[in-house]
Amino acid sequence: MFHYHVWCQLMGDGCPDIGWSRLDSVRDNGGAVPGYNVDERAYFNESQTAKPITLNCPWCRTQNVYDLRWMVRKKKDRLPPGADERDRARFQKSQSYMVLLDDKVACKNLRCRKRFDISGIKTMAYLTD
């Protein structure tokens, strides 16, 4: 089992913010970058996990704990066949990380139940072994 540094929101400036456009590309094509032989997905073992986080509904201002889904990409021990030098260099630099999959939650307050955007938290965190 591995643990992530800390919640990204606690890391402040130490945490890279990849932004939503980068997140979308990770979602849509697994982080593949044109020009490389090996898809970035081949570097990682993928899994999903859920982590609780406290959010405030902007509509009714109720605070609740929500289980947000994260995609975990844990770096493999070695590159797959077909990798060239550039892939190798990129693989060396890559780290295990997780990306937030959810961007909205439904308010748990039964009298509200409105959906709202998850904001104010970082959407990516690097993992340490």
Nearer to Zn ion, 74 or 108 (CB): 108
- Distance from C-alpha of 84 to C-alpha of 63, rounded to nearest angstrom: 50
Asked if residue 38 binds Zn ion (CB under 5 A), the reply is: no
- Binders of Zn ion among residues 44 to 63 (CB under 5 A) are 57, 59-60
Question: Is residue 34 exposed (0-12), middle (13-18) or buried (19+ Cβ within 10 Å)?
Answer: exposed
Least CB distance from residue 9 to Zn ion, whole Å?
21
Interface map 104-123 toward Zn ion (x if CB under 5 A): ---x-x--x-----------
> Strand pairing partners for 4?
127
Binding site residues, Zn ion, CB under 5 A? 57, 59-60, 107, 109, 112
